Structure 1
Amino acid sequence: MKFQFLYLLVFSLIVITISELIGFQSIALGAVKISILPLVFAIMITMILGLTIFRKGILKKVYSKSNIQFSNKYLLFIMLPLMARYGADVAPHIREILSIGWVFLIQEIGNLGTVLIGLPAAILIGLRREAIGATLGIGREGELAYISEKYTLDSDEGRGVLSLYIIGTLFGAIFFSIFAPLLLDVGFRVEALAMASGVGSASMMTAASSTLVARVPELESTILAYASASQLLTSFLGTFTMVFLAVPLQRFMYNLLVRGDKQ
């Protein structure tokens, strides 16, 4: 176990180094810039090398069952330093943020949209228990923690939330990097878009705020502060919204839509 973990550690450091060397890439498509974060490159490299055709020799030891179980269990610990970074960005603008704090609270209602819209759609295309994990919020750290504690990540519900987590990391950041500047061109205020970028995903928030900073560099500190505050509140208050509102609503709807398979 320890020997195989060493392979995982070395492999992770190599992938991280390569991804950081590639760095933050911005691809221009006309007036729109698509931002691709090092995190996206890291996941793509890891997924490609994890394919069966490559999983031989040392890679077979890297992707061993014991390493995969270890990664599932301790994934959340690597997310904790992000919370400290959010707090550091928020502090200089705390008075300004508190003066409009109620606006941040309203966006938490959006956490119910994934259940109201996503769950029926997931059931319609044939998902069952996987839909529970895939439609509880946007499948980020909070949802990942809840599903892993309640069902474990080896369950159908766990596979649902993990699939959404990976898809959100790969495509969510790209979507946000395109959508944020488009809304800016339509006429939305940059402060509103910065607040909206904090949906509970570090990669999506970074992609959206980075493209906004590129378009309005003179408001960089304001954009980063609003985005970080929104992200921080979403990560904190979103947990209570999920547990006390989204989960009961999802349970009720799932039992109603899928009779005979009680959640």
Structure 2
Amino acid sequence: MKLKLQYLYLLAFVLIVIAVAEFIGIQSIQVGSVKISLLPLVFAILITMVLGLSIFRKGLMKKIYSKENVGFSSKYLIFIMLPLMARYGADVAPRLEEILKVGWVFIIQEIGNLGTIVLGLPIAILLGLRREAIGATLGLGREGELAYISEKYTLDSDEGRGVLSLYIIGTLFGTLFFSILAPVMVAAGFSIEALAMSSGVGSASMMTGSSSALIAHSPEMTETINGYAAASQLLTSFLGTYTMVFLAVPLQRFMYKLMVRGEKK
């Protein structure tokens, strides 16, 4: 009964945070010639991050941020994402003909997923990481990478700690980063369609943050942005596993052996 009561506290807390974030609404910050739109989703993340600090985790907040609640939230996050995935499919359908005309672009963009290895692995090695770098740089650290690393190395391994760290960092800061980056790239001259395509990086929350920021900038292109972003997200989710297994993993092993010689395995 005590455990169920903690879940009720968690549900009430989530609803209050959502209400506060929606009350704040979309806020814009002008930085030079760049207009950055901060969405309710960003405020919700910031509120939960701040309240999760140790100085606030007292009394009722300590119960809300308990290990049981954190574990429960992580375990059942996928069920919350399922309706969102269904919404992606509904967004893709009206723009299907237009999307198929540039279909090859969506496929080529999958090669961009290798950037976490090409750019991230050398930096991780220079920072002193070793086996942890394998888990941390295999991808964006979403569910696909988490599943692969946990199956191959277990989450108690160095590789597992690497992918878990990135998963947590991505969850906390990824959406905020993409929400800010999207309008900055628009101001830099990139087309809305290209940025909508690049929003589908394999993370539902990051895609939502990026596409919502683009919609806030160009509301007249809402259908196009949603369609392109959703198609990209679906394709990344589908092809991402094959890209990881057949391209990312061999490339990472090759680069790791070159940069870390004489390591005991």
TM-score for both structures, normalised by structure 2: 0.84
- Alignment match of 1:235 (pick from 234, 237, 252): 237
Q: Please report the RMSD computed on the Cα atoms of aligned residues, expressed in angstroms.
A: 2.6
Cross-structure match for 1:16: 18
Secondary structure of the residue aligned to 1:28 is strand
Contact 1:176 1:204 (C-alpha < 8 Å) held by counterparts: no
Cα distance per residue 1:182-233 (max 9 Å; x no partner): 223xxxx443333233333344444444454455554442233222212221
Q: Is the 8 A contact 1:147 1:153 kept in 2?
A: no
Q: 2:169 aligns with which of 163, 167, 186?
A: 163
CA change 1:74–1:147 in 2 (3 A) is farther
What does the per-residue CA deviation read over 1:80-99, in whole Å, with 9 as the maximum and x for residues that have no partner? Answer: 22211111111011112112
Q: Is the 8 A contact 2:38 2:213 kept in 1?
A: no
TM-score by length of 1: 0.84
Which amino acid counterpart does residue 124 of structure 1 have in structure 2? Answer: L
Cα distance between partner residues in 1 of 2:94 and 2:63: 46
What are the residue-to-residue correspondences of 1:81-92 with 2, within 5 Å?
A: 81-92=83-94
Do the aligned partners of 1:7 and 1:62 also contact (CA within 8 Å) in 2? yes
Distance 1:159 1:249, change over 3 A: same
Match of 2:67 in 1: 65
How far apart in 1 are the matches of 2:10 and 2:151? 24
Does 32-41 or 144-153 show the bigger shift? 144-153
Give the letter aligned to residue 263 of structure 2. Answer: G
What CA deviation, in whole Å up to 9, does each residue of 1:125-181 have, x standing for no partner?
Answer: 123344333322223454345456663499513123322332212223212221133
Per-residue deviation, 1:9: 1.9
> What are the ranges of 5 or more consecutive residues in structure 2 without an aligned counterpart?
none
Instruction: Note if contact 1:130-1:160 (Cα within 8 Å) is conserved in structure 2.
Output: no
For residue 55 of structure 2, give the secondary structure of its aligned residue in structure 1: coil
Number of the residue aligned with 2:118: 116
Q: Which residue of 1 aligns with 2:181?
A: 175
Residue 113 to residue 232, structure 1, CA distance change in 2 (3 Å): same
Taking the aligned partners of 1:42 and 1:145, their CA distance within structure 2 comes to 27
AA aligned opposite 1:2: K
Identity %: 66
Contact 1:90 1:229 survives alignment (8 Å): yes
- Structure 1 partner of 2:33: 31
Residue 55 of structure 2 aligns with which residue? 53
On the 8 A contact 2:199/2:207 being kept in 1, the answer is: yes
For residues 221 and 26 of structure 2, what CA distance do their matches in structure 1 show?
20
Taking the aligned partners of 2:67 and 2:199, their CA distance within structure 1 comes to 36
* Gap regions ≥5 residues in structure 1: none
Whether the aligned pair in 1 keeps the contact of 2:33 and 2:187 (CA below 8 Å) is no
Which AA in structure 2 matches 1:156? R
The secondary structure found in structure 2 opposite 1:183 is coil
Point out 4+ residue stretches in structure 1 off by more than 6 angstroms: none
